[in-house]
Structure 1
Amino acid sequence: MNANKEELRNQILSVHKRRFATKAFDSEKKISAEDWAVILEAGRLSPSSFGYEPWKFLLIENEAVKDGLNEIAWGAQNSLKGASHFLIVLARKNLTGNSTHVKHMVEDVFGVPYSETAPQTVFFNQFQKNDFQLTDERSLFDWASKQTYITMANMMTTAAFLDIDSCPIEGFNKEAVEQYLSSQNIVNLDTFGVSYMAGFGYRAQDIPVKKRQALSDIYEVVE
Structure 2
Amino acid sequence: MNAITKILPDIQAQIIDAFNFRHATKVFDPERKIDERAFETILEAARLSPTSFGHEPFKVLIIQTPEKRELFREFSWGANGIMNGSAGQLGTASHFGIILASTAETMTAGSDYLVDHYRTVKKLPEPVIEMFNGAYGKFQTTDHGITTDRQITDWSGKQAYIVLANMMTAGALIGIDSCPIEGFDMGRTTQTLAQHFEIDTGKWKPAVMFAFGYRAKDPEFPKTRRSMAETVSWF
Question: TM-score scaled by structure 2?
Answer: 0.90
Separation in 2, partners of 1:125, 1:92: 16
CA distance 1:6–1:76, shift in 2 (3 Å): same
Partner of residue 177 from structure 2, selected from 165, 184, 188: 165
Bigger drift between 63-72 and 95-104 goes to: 95-104
CA distance 1:116–1:72, shift in 2 (3 Å): farther
Bigger drift between 102-111 and 35-44 goes to: 102-111
Q: Which amino acid aligns with 1:47?
A: P
Separation in 1, partners of 2:209, 2:166: 14
RMSD between superposed Cα atoms in Å: 1.6
Q: Deviations over 1:104-159 (max 9, x none)?
A: 21011111245898121111111110000011111111001100100100000000
Separation in 2, partners of 1:7, 1:142: 38
Q: Deviations over 1:47-80 (max 9, x none)?
A: 0000000000000123222111011111112111
Could you say which residue in structure 2 is the equivalent of 1:183?
Answer: 195
Unaligned runs of 5+ in 1: none
Aligned residue for 2:233, secondary structure, equals coil
Aligned residue for 1:200, secondary structure, equals strand
Aligned residue for 1:118, secondary structure, equals helix
Aligned residue for 2:202, secondary structure, equals coil
Partner of residue 21 from structure 1, selected from 24, 33, 38: 24
Separation in 1, partners of 2:30, 2:129: 53
Question: TM-score scaled by structure 1?
Answer: 0.95
Could you say which residue in structure 1 is the equivalent of 2:40?
Answer: 37
Aligned residue for 2:160, secondary structure, equals helix
* 1:96 Cα deviation from its structure 2 partner: 1.6
Aligned residue for 1:186, secondary structure, equals coil
Does residue 90 in structure 1 map to residue 100 in structure 2?
yes
CA distance 1:36–1:117, shift in 2 (3 Å): closer
Does residue 150 in structure 1 map to residue 162 in structure 2?
yes
Could you say which residue in structure 1 is the equivalent of 2:226?
Answer: 213
Separation in 1, partners of 2:129, 2:159: 25
Separation in 1, partners of 2:14, 2:119: 40
Alignment of 1:42-191 (within 5 A): 42-77=45-80, 78-94=88-104, 95-114=107-126, 118-191=130-203
Identity %: 36
Unaligned runs of 5+ in 2: 81-87
